[in-house]
A = this chain, B = another copy of it.
């Protein structure tokens, strides 16, 4: 078997995983075949192996979904499990102080990926979800992560056309650069009504033992009554607390414990 054929099988396995998305969490055999471009017989054989291992599961109607075994392996991702473990006690503190949405996110490429959220039943509605992606420029966590990304990443981001979610979304390059400078200066990002008209996000950076910003913590509150005098110090303190814990127990050692 040549290297190119072997690469082809691995990429087929990954293309099956790629076929699933938050809008398509269950797929039939023929949908997987169509979405991956694999013949039905090939897809059927490959899916059989993935089901046997537990990467996929078959629901009672015969459709396929991502399996629990894959989820178990995936939560070993250091940016998932490790950060989450360090952040969770501070996130519950923040939740109790605000009863709103407390979020933990990292930057991947130019997107924010949400690792965890605690939401109150009466908290203002937010559009993000755990495992979901969002463009960085309009969210509090995104502004924090972008502001501390390498200059080249920031410039590439600012140079491209930016999506506007509300009238308040900052899409002008010069204004966005100014906002990022402000975030670096103050240590806090406030994104007011930039995603939805009724929500304001307050975010702060989480640093690893080496001082690099590896994640962002935010509270999303009602824009009409943001109580920033309480929320800003609470978010800043919680982010510093997580940073301190990461410095005491570096991410890798902590996760191996």
Also in contact, A45 and B3, with CB within 8 A (given A14-B53, A84-B130, A95-B92): yes
B120 touches A89 (CB 8 A): yes
Please measure, in the bound complex, the distance between the C-alpha atom of A46 and the C-alpha atom of B80, giving whole angstroms. 23
The one of B67, B118, B256 in contact with A92, judged by C-beta atoms closer than 8 angstroms, is B118
A71 to B91, alpha carbons, bound, how many Å? Answer: 21
Nearest residue, chain B, Cβ from A26: B252
Question: Which residues of B lie under 8 Å from residue A130 when comparing CB positions?
Answer: 75, 81, 84
Total interface residues on A, CB under 8 Å, equals 68
- Assembled-state Cα–Cα distance A81/B67 (Å): 11
Stretch at the interface among A15-23, A143-151, A157-165, A224-232: A15-23
A203 to chain B, nearest CB (A): 19
Interface flag for A10 (CB, 8 Å): yes
Q: Which A1-51 residues have a C-beta within 8 angstroms of B?
A: 1, 3, 5-7, 9-11, 13-14, 17-18, 20-26, 45-46, 49-50
A/B interface sample: 28 pairs, CB < 8 A: A1-B5, A6-B9, A6-B46, A7-B45, A9-B13, A10-B46, A13-B13, A14-B50, A14-B55, A17-B73, A20-B73, A25-B81, A25-B82, A25-B252, A26-B78, A65-B76, A66-B78, A66-B80, A67-B77, A68-B106, A70-B73, A71-B131, A81-B129, A85-B129, A92-B95, A92-B119, A92-B120, A93-B121
